[in-house]
Amino acid sequence: MPTDTSPGALPVRAPLALVPGEPVLDVVIPVFNEEKDLGPCVRRLHDHLTRTFPYPFRITVADNASTDRTPEIAAGLAAALDCVRSTRLEEKGRGRALRTVWSGSDAPVLAYMDVDLSTDLNALLPLVAPLISGHSDLAIGTRLARSSRVVRGAKREFVSRAYNLLLRSSLAARFSDAQCGFKAIRREVAERLLPLVEDTGWFFDTELLVLAERAGLRIHEVPVDWVDDPDSTVHIVKTATEDLKGVWRVGRALAVGALPLDRLARPFGDDPRDRTAVPGVDGGLARQLIGFCTVGVLSTLLYLVLYSAFRGGAGPQLANGIALLLSAVANTAANRRLTFGVRGRERAVRHQAQGLVVFGIGLALTSGSLAALAAATPDPAHGTELAVLITANLAATVLRFLLLRAWVFPERRGTDPRTSTDPRTSTSKEGR
């Protein structure tokens, strides 16, 4: 996966400082062999922006190695219309086109839309307004909101909903519509996100959104009116296959912590929680307790399932040891990432080793409880065993949290665990 080489953190999110005469918005239209639709599309978009958009704008036609008259038409439009320009790429790929134009643009808000203009242009100003005002980092049009009005065939409807369901189930995505060709992003965010995005085709914007969401950036959604283009040249099977490969690649990278997303989780300074520090109260404790309890409940359920599964073929002590070991490894990994915000592979082995020490203490508590139960009752019922183990695990859980927080994942004094650059996770430019 690509790595982020941009120095420093993202700045505080704020309204744009507009410069007279310079474009606020750069709308990119990626095209491949669109000689029929390109002219009407650009003229219609140019007319709409001229009449309704209150700031200077630019329209950029990004030609993806077209073999028809598309480059000639794009050049003609750039010569005939103010605020229109064209650029030529010798390789195909919508993602490649967007990366190239966005990386070189001087506009503070960058957007793109499909050449067929399936999305009603009245949604364009609501799309970019939260980015101009400083409210959001990215904005997307969604065809799946209740207030959206969509006209398209059953096959495309099924494919779209199935794909977004896949993203929710596999990558825990919370945005509603990944594939709508109607998106915008603030330039300073794009500068940090683009080096992390590997795909150059149709999966590009999905990958962009997943990484942005995982980094804690704000994504604004705008319900749109959308009419399917029956002449669309998108190959559904091929695109779906590439998307599935992208989902697997991104999911694997996120699972192993291979992406430096902490560089994007900007300490905005506009979060009210950053301005309401209470003397004597650790602001990160409540968040860590919630995360630890959530992980604890899940790992306890995993432990009980494993114990019950191994109990039939082994004695209670051996079943307890195996179940506790497996659930402890999962518990340490989950707490490392979710509760204490440690990402990447640095010190992962050390953290697991320290977690196993904590596991040993839990094992002693639960094993001792089982031994005491066996001494008191030679043949205890299975339900009684579980009740004793749950009680012992509750005691071990309290001790586990204290040890994890103070010993395994200690926070540096005087830092906010939500926003600090921790030596466990940060990497200097020299070491990257």
418: closest CA among 209, 196, 269? 269
Per-residue model confidence (pLDDT) at position 332: 87
Per-residue model confidence (pLDDT) at position 235: 64
Per-residue model confidence (pLDDT) at position 139: 97
User: Is pLDDT of 101 > 70?
Assistant: yes
115: closest CA among 27, 4, 22? 27
Average pLDDT, the chain: 83
Q: Are 152 and 226 in contact (CB under 8 A)?
A: yes
User: Is pLDDT of 424 > 50?
Assistant: no
137 assigned to active site: no
153: closest CA among 237, 228, 225? 228
Q: What is the pLDDT of residues 205-222, one digit of tens each?
A: 999 999 999 888 999 999
Dist CA 215 CA 209 (whole Å): 10
**Where do the DSSP E strands lie in 81-238?**
84-89, 109-113, 138-142, 149-151, 182-186, 219-223, 225-227
Tell me the pLDDT band of 9, cut-offs 50, 70 and 90: low
The model's pTM is: 0.63
Lowest-confidence pick of 103-107, 172-176, 427-431 = 427-431
Candidate list 4, 114, 137, 205, residue with the active-site label: 205
Sign of the C-alpha dihedral computed for residues 271, 273, 276 and 280 taken in this order = negative
Task: Order across the sheet with 25-31: list the strands.
Answer: 84-89, 57-64, 25-31, 109-113, 182-186, 138-142, 219-223
Cβ count within 10 A of residue 68: 13
